[in-house]
A and B are shown apart, each in its own frame.
Chain A
Amino acid sequence: EAQVTQNPRYLITVTGKKLTVTCSQNMNHEYMSWYRQDPGLGLRQIYYSMNVEVTDKGDVPEGYKVSRKEKRNFPLILESPSPNQTSLYFCASSHNYGYTFGSGTRLTVV
């Protein structure tokens, strides 16, 4: 089954404790992206990658890092999480004409 898999689904962490949210796709898509979803703000792009070793900032990149060492994986790294990064995060991959999204990671930073 074609899919984008994110882990974990839920995560509660404390301010400053580094964390990684993993994302993997099995569709051989070149493009991958991370979004955060907040009430009233819709989906905002954090980072995207056009291919292996090619990444670029989206609209809200501050406080986040990404890497793309393999085509299928695109982890999101929060080096020092803060409460304003509490949000619902989605990974997505695309091959023309639209995204396939993962099921989301709900992150709470206390």
Chain B
Amino acid sequence: QQQVKQSPQSLIVQKGGISIINCAYENTAFDYFPWYQQFPGKGPALLIAIRPDVSEKKEGRFTISFNKSAKQFSLHIMDSQPGDSATYFCAASKGNFNKFYFGSGTKLNVKP
């Protein structure tokens, strides 16, 4: 049973558009929610993360929106660029940062 469910599996966005990737979780003990970005042939790299005491976190063109009551969080990429084309993973952890549960990944393709 997957602890974190991610959608969509793939996403095509035009350059300049907004990319939105959604994740949902069940375990209310989760208290840290990172997003990872993975380019082909590379390992995932931490992109942005949020804790449940805030509803939104923004870093440049990347924003996490967090809805604690719905147990959902999402990644928004504003003004999407072809260089953003990658696979994105959401994740969640509880208490210690050694154990992360990952979503199934979203392959984003930004068309020029």
Q: Which residues of A contact B (CB under 8 A)?
A: 4, 31, 33, 35, 40-45, 48, 50, 58, 90, 92, 94, 96-104
Contact = CB atoms under 8 A, between A and B. Distances in A.
A99 B46 contact: yes
B61 interface: no
Nearest to A4: B43
A33 B100 CA distance: 10
Interface of A is mostly: strand
A43 B102 contact: yes
A98 B35 CA distance: 10
A42 B99 contact: no
A103 B105 CA distance: 17
Contacts of B91: 43
Nearest to B42: A103
A100 B45 CA distance: 7
Contact of A98 (B34, B43, B99, B105): B34
Contact of B97 (A31, A43, A90): A31
Interface residues on B, range: 20 to 34
B30 interface: no
Given A40-B9, A42-B89, A43-B89, A94 B97 contact: yes
Contacts of A92: 43
A33 B93 CA distance: 14
B74 interface: no
B44 A101 contact: yes
Given A90-B44, A97-B49, A101-B43, A42 B97 contact: no
A104 B43 contact: yes
A41 B104 contact: yes
5 contacts: A31-B97, A40-B9, A43-B91, A99-B46, A101-B45
Contacts of A31: 97-98
A97 B6 CA distance: 21
Contacts of A42: 2, 4, 6, 89, 102-105
A43 B46 CA distance: 14
